[in-house]
Amino acid sequence: MVLDKPAGLPLDPGRRGGNASLVDWLPLLQLGKRHLPQPAHRLDTDTAGCLVLGRTKPALAALGALFAGRLAEKVYWAVVAGRPPQEEGILDLPLRKVSTREGGWRMEPHPEGQPARTAWRLLGSSGGRAWLELRPATGRTHQLRVHCASLGCPILGDPFYGTSAPGGMHLLARSILLPLGPEMGGVLKSEAPVPPEMLPAFRQCGSATDFVTEV
């Protein structure tokens, strides 16, 4: 099962309760199966787009193997502040988690961090903003957010590594391709549309016809 997760929806309940999370909606997605579906990978709370769930334990195990083996092809779209110096490139920048009492935790580039690699491509730009396609080869926490900031182009609306903006963080898990076996239906590809709150910034950087594909 592939969901179009809205930005602002966390996958897990907060330690202090409060706002709803994906966990609260899982019973509605059970659809006659014995167990509740479970996410096969992670998306940040503020990231919208394609989220894969396994509906059975064998399916979840198979999906876990695909993600662990880096066989799932993930494509993200982002609107960033500024414009990268080239048309495309690869960021090979290890990341580590740091924490302070004053500022809390965040990720930072560090040679002793975990390997993190992202291929990026410029799809359009205008008015001091750029539209990037991002293809992560690894799945580190906040990887795309830190890599874009390290490129000198923080993601628009990212309060951690850039600045907040109307419409929230402009990062979309645009598509995912899963090379499933024949017993699970073969290759599966899903695409998520650009959320309405992000459309003005994306349209500023490209043609409106670029956003007609629905999930």
- Give the C-alpha separation, 159 to 145, whole Å: 10
CA dihedral for 126, 167, 140, 29, sign (positive or negative): negative
**Token representation of residue 120:** 């990026």
16 Cβ contact list (under 8 Å, min separation 6): none
- Give the C-alpha separation, 117 to 103, whole Å: 26
Beta strands at 48-54 and 129-136: parallel, antiparallel or unpaired: unpaired
Verify whether residue 44 is a known catalytic residue: yes
- Give the C-alpha separation, 64 to 72, whole Å: 10
| CA within 13 Å, CB half, 98 | 12
- Give the C-alpha separation, 125 to 215, whole Å: 25
Rounded to whole angstroms, the maximal C-alpha distance in the chain is 52
Amino acid at 49: G
Catalytic, out of 12, 44, 92, 210: 44
CA dihedral 64, 67, 69, 71 (to 10 degrees): 130
Positions marked active-site: 44
